[in-house]
Structure 1
Amino acid sequence: MDYMITTEHLTKKYKNFVSVNNVSLHIRKGSIYGFLGPNGAGKSTTMKMLLGLTEPTKGNFFIDGKHFPEDRLEILKEIGSFIESPSFYANLTGRENLDVIHRILGLPKDSVEDALELVGLTEFGNRLAKKYSLGMKQRLGLAGALLGRPPILILDEPTNGLDPSGIHEIRDLVKSLPGLYDCTILISSHMLSEIELIADDIGILNHGRLLFEGSLDELRQTAVRTGFAANNLEDVFLSMVDKDNADRKQRAKL
């Protein structure tokens, strides 16, 4: 199996709190990997470790065959990221905001126009960022991640706060990207109903622990084996999380 990202027992502790607990991920090259879990499950912390924004307490990870931390700079050159709500210079246009990023990264000038076109913002490129709608700001954030067409995208809840129409637009855009230029995408969400429309594989995280990793069909098979109703995957996801929470409470009593 050709994996673009693998983690081995990745762990992050903050004093007495374990945010990520022995997580081993296997993300196939050219796939969309849906990273699922309730708010506070450890998804963002895992992504920040992959981006070198916070150091693992324990464990290793490899990205495109490169090992962290020795190859940190080489790894970062291959990743475009969207973490939390993107921030922009309000009094610059969308195009000017991307121009700042492209200069910092040393990318070709045409990378700005390419990114605007990918996210459907070409005609709004000269509008001030402060006049963008929330959906347009999310698209501009994705354009920043897409500058130079990086082979890996790490997207942390890119549809957060959007209305159903905005969610649909961003979801369709993300789904189209691997076909447009053969990238690998790790995208997080707390809603399986959103992820199951685009993901090839999924990982389910709860309280920092990986409860499941595999395809949607494998999730259905797991649901049948464990006695969950497999006809509604959102219910399966919630049932797995609820069972894990109940097991945690039971262990705490012992």
Structure 2
Amino acid sequence: MNYITDRATDHTTDCIITTEQLTKKYKNFTSVNNVSLHIRKGSIYGFLGPNGAGKSTTMKMLLGLTKPTAGSFTIDGKHFPADRLAILKEIGSFIESPSFYSNLTGRENLDIIRRILKLPKSTVDEALELVGLTEFGDRLAKKYSLGMKQRLGLAGALLGRPPILILDEPTNGLDPSGIHEIRNLVKSLPTLYDCTVLISSHMLSEIELMANDIGILNHGRLLFEGSLDELRRNALQAGFAADNLEEMFLSMIDNDNTTRKQRAKL
């Protein structure tokens, strides 16, 4: 069953990120398989899938960290690979667990990024304040807890208020209070900074509270793209439980895995 709503033909949708049949293959393994995303400007797009579904690989392709095997993508009217550097200037990113210079302070780590991006000095203090690290800015990064390192990584992504944020599991290692704070921060960003957020997380209850749109990957293939309401309607039509995002997600993944096994037997 095809769960993908036809966003490509929706002329009222103002997409800031589009991918066309984006594919990444490693020898005999296809990590991302003909994925076409349509991410609306000013939205929070929840990018979901089991471990190994291809979420991080897709994000790395958008950031130019790994080269697509096939397909193309456009970000804010700029085409990859011709406009790769121009694209990177518009994106703040947090991919997997960020690494820092352990013998430098949080502030000094951010200042390195600031200088590379040629931003004003004030952007470091602003980013620290946004993620709640102002009082810890002068502490050595090696003395940061895992949660504080996640916050510092998010601060690095927010430097200079980029119009697009790509966040891969930004709440990993945070306690419930920290998760709540980061969720509220991410929710506020489109209005606060006029930005678009592409965020992946295994915490589906958090995505449900944040996201306007959802994309679901399984085995590198896009199973669904659309709003939460569209996902709920599709789930009900397919006879799935639709009380919350986690139920709908698990039903869709299980159904796809069952279909794959049946095809493999034929």
TM-score range for the pair, normalised by the shorter chain length: over 0.9
1:248 matched to which residue of 2? 260
1:231 Cα deviation from its structure 2 partner: 1.6
1:157 matched to which residue of 2? 169
Equivalent residue in structure 1 for 2:24, among 9, 12, 17:
12
1:239 Cα deviation from its structure 2 partner: 0.6
CA distance in 2, matches of 1:21, 1:6: 15
CA distance in 2, matches of 1:238, 1:76: 34
Q: Does 1:137 align with 2:149?
A: yes
SS of match in other structure, 2:210: coil
2:180 matched to which residue of 1? 168
Equivalent residue in structure 1 for 2:99, among 83, 87, 90:
87
Q: Does 1:63 align with 2:75?
A: yes
Aligned residue identity for 1:9: Q
Whether contact under 8 Å (1:156, 1:188) holds in the other structure is yes
1:239 matched to which residue of 2? 251
Aligned pairs (5 A) from 1:105-144: 105-144=117-156
Which stretches in structure 2 are left out of the alignment for 5+ residues?
A: 1-12
CA distance in 1, matches of 2:54, 2:258: 18
- Under a length normalisation based on structure 1, what TM-score does the superposition of the two structures give? 0.97
Aligned pairs (5 A) from 1:223-238: 223-238=235-250
Percent identity over the alignment is 85
1:170 Cα deviation from its structure 2 partner: 1.8
CA distance in 2, matches of 1:161, 1:251: 39
CA distance in 2, matches of 1:245, 1:58: 25
Deviation digits for residues 188-221 of structure 1 (CA, Å, limit 9, x no counterpart): 0123222001000010000000000001111110
Where do 4+ consecutive residues of structure 1 move more than 4 Å? none
Whether contact under 8 Å (1:7, 1:60) holds in the other structure is yes
Whether contact under 8 Å (2:147, 2:172) holds in the other structure is no
Aligned residue identity for 1:122: T
1:53 matched to which residue of 2? 65
Deviation digits for residues 157-205 of structure 1 (CA, Å, limit 9, x no counterpart): 1112333233222222211211211110000012322200100001000
1:73 matched to which residue of 2? 85
2:215 matched to which residue of 1? 203
Aligned residue identity for 2:256: D
Aligned residue identity for 1:166: G
1:28 matched to which residue of 2? 40
Whether contact under 8 Å (1:36, 1:191) holds in the other structure is no
SS of match in other structure, 2:82: coil
Equivalent residue in structure 2 for 1:184, among 179, 191, 196:
196
Larger mean Cα displacement after TM superposition, 229-238 or 219-228: 229-238
- Under a length normalisation based on structure 2, what TM-score does the superposition of the two structures give? 0.93
Aligned residue identity for 2:239: G
SS of match in other structure, 2:111: helix
CA distance in 2, matches of 1:190, 1:244: 18
Whether contact under 8 Å (2:241, 2:251) holds in the other structure is no
Larger mean Cα displacement after TM superposition, 106-115 or 206-215: 106-115
CA distance in 1, matches of 2:129, 2:227: 31
SS of match in other structure, 1:98: helix
1:50 Cα deviation from its structure 2 partner: 0.1
SS of match in other structure, 1:196: helix
CA distance in 2, matches of 1:17, 1:164: 37
1:142 Cα deviation from its structure 2 partner: 0.5
Deviation digits for residues 15-59 of structure 1 (CA, Å, limit 9, x no counterpart): 110000010101010110000001110000000000000111110
CA distance in 2, matches of 1:94, 1:236: 40
